[in-house]
Amino acid sequence: MQVSTRGVVIAPGALTDFSPIYCDEDGSGVVTQYDKNDVEEAGLVKFDFLGLRTLTIIQWATQMIDARATAPLDIDAIPLDDPDVFRLMQAGDTTAVFQLESRGMKELIKNLRPDCFEDIIALVALFRPGPLQSGMVENFINRKHGREPLAYPDAQYQHEWLQPILEPTYGIILYQEQVMQIAQVLAGYTLGGADLLRRAMGKKKPEEMAKQRSVFEEGAAAKGVDPILAIKIFDLVEKFAGYGFNKSHSAAYALVSYQTAWLKTHYPSEFMAAVMSSEIDNTDKLLTFRDEAKRMGLVVQPPSIQSGEHAFSVDDAGHIRYGLGAIKGLGEGPIGNLLAAREEGPFSSLFDLCARTDPRKMNRRALEALIKSGALDELGVERWVMLAALDDAIKAAEQVASNMAAGMTDLFGGVMTTGATSDDLYQEHRGARPWSLTELLNAEKESLGSFLSGHPMEAFETEVRKFAPRRIRELQANNQGVVAGLIMDIRTIKTQRGPMAVLTLDDGSGQLEATVYNDVFTEHRDLLQKDRIVLLEGRLQVDDFNGGLAMRAKTARSLEQARQAKVSQLRLRVASHRVDDHFNTLLASTLRTAVGGQCPVVMEYVQPKGSVAVRLGGAWQVHPSDALLDELRIAVGSDAVDWVYEA
């Protein structure tokens, strides 16, 4: 038997007098053995209590607002006719807005262009399969914008008494309450009788509908309404009642929708921080909301052991601080331990962090995750250096803990340490191999599920423009072009002709959806993977939904493939004074990892009065790979490595 977690029934007396019951397996709850229909037949009143995550989001947002404001915000007192809120909705900027964030709903909003609270109530009621498939939505939109004449409810069959009832919905019978009001006003139904009519129309039982049709006709005649008109209106009411939605339900949802839209309009940082906190364990949704925050112009700062909290927060400058709870491998135990230790003061070093936290909670895995996420960047030490020093820092902290347990103190009563300062800890590890930008971003993705401090395209920006001259935000529709970007998302679709895919490309300036049909997708399936940089060629067109651009891709290449076909040489520029045995050994070992290719290597030695270029022998020709580029940038310097292309 399925148990409704939110269903509650009440009875006028002992529940056992109305329904057989049983207890949950753990004895914690009483459950009726009747289903939802039999419960009502037995005379019990059933309630469904629906818990909404959005109410928690609103609460968190208002708490953050109150923390920075001079007076508390009463979300229930905000005006329901704020033009800025309706402008946000009409623009389709409703990502994270309750009930209004789906792709289909955004399209409906853009067509309807809501400008009053009643329109939001209608949106919630209209966006359901019945109304969408019936043509009712198009009628509603056309009547609102004057493209279709108003009628109450139909141009051929209408009555002036129905205008006050149907005016808020432009003459469309949209709500169950309107069905009941029409029965009351036109046919003299009581409230109870009107509710029975509503139920009968919903269940569509022929015998019950025949009975109600007769009651409606007689009641209308008693009020002086033409019998033929009454039956025609009854037929219209019956037709629309099948799609009718409970207005009180829709209005309650619409209020929450409006409140979230209002918060997004007037307190965007606090609202988006609360939204991201609500999805702190869902990497995909978190990335969507973080991208939305950046699109809104908000600053999203990396996590911090000095000022970060478990949830996302907002600082005095209005910047969003990443929540520590979003770091993978860092559970509530380590975070709680870190926050408790921080109450004694900020952390001065990696050594200090290890010494002041409980190693049973803040273990090596948790510390690695903190370092890779950038949460320790404020300590002023490179991430790769801290990672190299981590074992020593943990050992030193264990020694301090051991000394404390043994009661070993120095002459001044302080706990004896190993004799190493935080500087000493780092000193042995300053020579650790630096990370390339790609490695740094990949470490962020490992710990956060996404890139935060930069974009993988940045490392290849100059080179990429040789193949794709324009960034996504600079592209124009109705042109054949090449687009370069990181695959942020890929949706595979099965068709009769085979699989195809829809890619979301991002180059740091904007996003573009590219459709890759079966022939291209099958040929390049291994290449078209999430987090890969690709070059797509095809026709650009306007995306009717979001107003941006879309592409139908005809070819796909990796940057390495494009480079292999066009590069003429690898050029390295180095100041002459840097060249010594160590440099030569490092450069040779780096190049050897890629020798055997067709790309010649040219060394340009730079001197104060000029420079001289030397082409290395054929034995040093390399494969022009991304991996080689990363290693050379570390060995020689980011600005000293260039692929030279044919003119």
Residue 111 per-residue DSSP state:
H
- 12/19 Cα distance (integer angstroms): 12
Instruction: Note whether residue 289 is domain-resident.
Output: no
Q: What average pLDDT does range 339-358 have in this prediction? A: 93
Q: What average pLDDT does range 617-639 have in this prediction? A: 89
| Token representation of residue 162 | 């129905």
Same domain for 223 and 152: yes
Instruction: Note whether residue 371 is domain-resident.
Output: yes
Task: Give me the amino acid identity at 457.
Answer: M
- The pLDDT of residue 424: 60
Instruction: Note whether residue 291 is domain-resident.
Output: no
- The pLDDT of residue 205: 75
- The pLDDT of residue 407: 66
Instruction: Note whether residue 163 is domain-resident.
Output: yes
Q: What average pLDDT does range 450-459 have in this prediction? A: 88
Same domain for 347 and 225: no
| Token representation of residue 25 | 């397996």
Q: What average pLDDT does range 603-614 have in this prediction? A: 88
- Residues 375, 386 contacting (CB under 8 angstroms): no
Q: What is the pLDDT of residues 240-297, one digit of tens each?
A: 777 778 899 999 999 999 999 999 999 999 999 999 999 999 988 998 899 899 999 9
Instruction: Note whether residue 55 is domain-resident.
Output: no
Predicted confidence (pLDDT) at residue 647 exceeds the cutoff of 80: no
Query: How many structural domains are present in the chain?
Result: 5
Same domain for 166 and 75: yes
Residue 332, CA atoms < 13 Å, CB-side half-sphere: 2
Instruction: Note whether residue 274 is domain-resident.
Output: no
Q: What is the pLDDT of residues 550-586, one digit of tens each?
A: 899 999 999 999 999 999 999 999 888 888 888 899 9
Q: Which helix (H) or strand (E) holds 205?
A: none
Predicted confidence (pLDDT) at residue 389 exceeds the cutoff of 70: yes
Predicted confidence (pLDDT) at residue 400 exceeds the cutoff of 80: no
Instruction: Indicate the pairing of strand 320-321 with strand 300-301.
Output: parallel
For 9-24, b/e burial (b = at least 16 CB within 10 A) is bebeeeeeebbeeeee
3-state secondary structure of 604: strand
- The pLDDT of residue 87: 97
Tokens 């990443």 found at? 322
Distances (CA, A) of 383 to 261, 390, 431, 451: 39, 10, 13, 15
- The residue with greater pLDDT, 490 or 202, is 490
Instruction: Note whether residue 283 is domain-resident.
Output: no
Same domain for 214 and 81: yes
3-state secondary structure of 575: strand
Q: What is the pLDDT of residues 203-234, one digit of tens each?
A: 777 788 888 889 999 999 999 999 899 999 98
Instruction: Note whether residue 413 is domain-resident.
Output: yes
**Which residue range(s) make up the domain with 326?**
299-437
Same domain for 306 and 228: no
| Token representation of residue 302 | 């990396």
* Range with the largest mean pLDDT of 403-407, 608-612, 622-626: 622-626
Predicted confidence (pLDDT) at residue 592 exceeds the cutoff of 50: yes
Same domain for 224 and 99: yes
- 479/471 Cα distance (integer angstroms): 14
Q: What is the pLDDT of residues 97-129, one digit of tens each?
A: 999 999 899 999 999 999 999 999 999 999 988
Lowest-confidence segment of 21-30, 68-77, 380-389, 410-419 by average pLDDT: 410-419
Residue 39 burial (CB count, 10 A): 19
Lowest-confidence segment of 122-126, 225-229, 324-328, 420-424 by average pLDDT: 420-424
Output the domain CATH number for residue 532.
Answer: 2.40.50.140
Same domain for 568 and 545: no
Domain boundary among 517, 543, 558: 558
Predicted confidence (pLDDT) at residue 420 exceeds the cutoff of 60: no
- The pLDDT of residue 546: 62
Same domain for 183 and 321: no
What are the DSSP calls for 7-59, one per residue? EEEE-SS-GGGTS-EEE-TTS--EEESS-HHHHHHTT-EEEE----HHHHHHH
Predicted confidence (pLDDT) at residue 152 exceeds the cutoff of 80: yes
- Residues 136, 243 contacting (CB under 8 angstroms): yes
Same domain for 20 and 80: no
Q: Is the dihedral of CA 415, 418, 419, 420 positive or negative?
A: negative
Domain boundary among 531, 558, 585: 558
Task: Give me the amino acid identity at 600.
Answer: P
Percent of the residues in the chain that have a pLDDT greater than 70, as a whole number: 95
Domain boundary among 507, 533, 558: 558
Same domain for 533 and 406: no
Same domain for 114 and 177: yes
Tokens 């072009």 found at? 481
Q: What is the pLDDT of residues 47-56, one digit of tens each?
A: 877 778 999 9
* Range with the largest mean pLDDT of 233-242, 265-274, 386-395, 450-459: 265-274
- The pLDDT of residue 4: 61
Same domain for 346 and 211: no
